C-alpha cells in the first residue's frame, strides 16, 4: 500500500505559512544549544574526514552545484542576500575585527626586504615574506601547525 502524503506544493505552502511564526522559538531556544553544537561538531572530526575524502566527493559536489544551478544562486542573492547584506556586515563587525587581529599583528611584525624598481623580480620576495607569514599564522590558529 502506498504511503499517503500531501503534495510537495501543499507541504511547501504550509511551511511558508507557519514557519515564519516560529521566529520567537528560534530566538529563544537556538542560542542555548551553542555548547552542544560545539561539542558535537568537534566530535565529528572523523566523520567529516571520511565525508570529504570519499572517492566520489568531487562528482557529488559538482552534481550538487548543477542541481542548484546559476538561476537559484542569482535568485537567492537577489531575494535574500541583498536585504541581509548590510545588517549582516554590521553584525559581523566585532567578529571581523577579532578574526583579523592576529593577521594584522603578523603583518605589523614583519620586516620586508628592500623594494626594488618597478617590475624587478626581487619585489616578489616581499610578497613571499607576507604570504609565508600569513599562511603560518592561519595554520597556527587552526591548530594545524607552526
143: left (phi over 0), alpha (psi -120 to 50) or beta: left
What are the pLDDT digits (tens) for 25-48? 999 999 999 999 999 999 999 999
What are the pLDDT digits (tens) for 52-78? 999 999 999 999 999 999 999 999 999
Average pLDDT over residues 125-133: 97
Percent of the chain with pLDDT over 70: 99
Enumerate residues 6+ apart whose C-beta is below 8 A from 134.
103, 106, 107
112 neighbors 126 (Cβ within 8 angstroms): yes
Q: Is the pLDDT of residue 146 over 50?
A: no
Instruction: Please give the pLDDT value at position 145.
Output: 58
Instruction: Please give the pLDDT value at position 106.
Output: 97
Average pLDDT over residues 1-12: 94
Average pLDDT over residues 3-30: 94
Instruction: Please give the pLDDT value at position 144.
Output: 73
How high is the mean pLDDT of the chain? 95
Q: How confident is the model at residue 16 (pLDDT cuts 50, 70, 90)?
A: very high
Domain ranges in the chain? 56-94, 110-146
Amino acid at each position: 500500500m502506498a504511503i499517503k502524503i500531501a503534495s510537495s506544493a501543499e507541504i511547501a505552502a504550509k511551511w511558508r505559512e507557519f514557519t515564519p511564526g516560529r521566529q520567537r522559538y528560534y530566538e529563544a531556544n537556538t542560542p542555548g544549544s551553542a555548547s552542544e553544537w560545539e561539542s558535537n561538531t568537534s566530535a565529528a572530526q572523523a566523520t567529516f574526514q571520511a565525508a570529504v575524502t570519499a572517492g566520489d566527493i568531487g562528482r557529488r559536489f559538482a552534481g550538487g552545484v548543477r542541481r542548484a544551478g546559476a538561476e537559484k544562486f542569482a535568485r537567492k542573492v537577489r531575494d535574500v542576500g541583498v536585504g541581509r547584506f548590510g545588517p549582516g556586515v554590521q553584525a559581523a563587525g566585532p567578529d571581523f575585527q577579532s578574526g583579523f587581529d592576529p593577521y594584522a599583528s603578523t603583518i605589523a611584525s614583519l620586516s620586508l626586504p628592500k623594494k626594488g624598481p618597478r617590475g624587478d623580480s626581487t619585489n616578489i620576495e616581499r610578497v613571499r615574506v607576507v604570504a609565508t607569514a600569513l599562511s603560518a599564522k592561519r595554520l597556527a590558529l587552526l591548530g594545524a601547525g607552526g
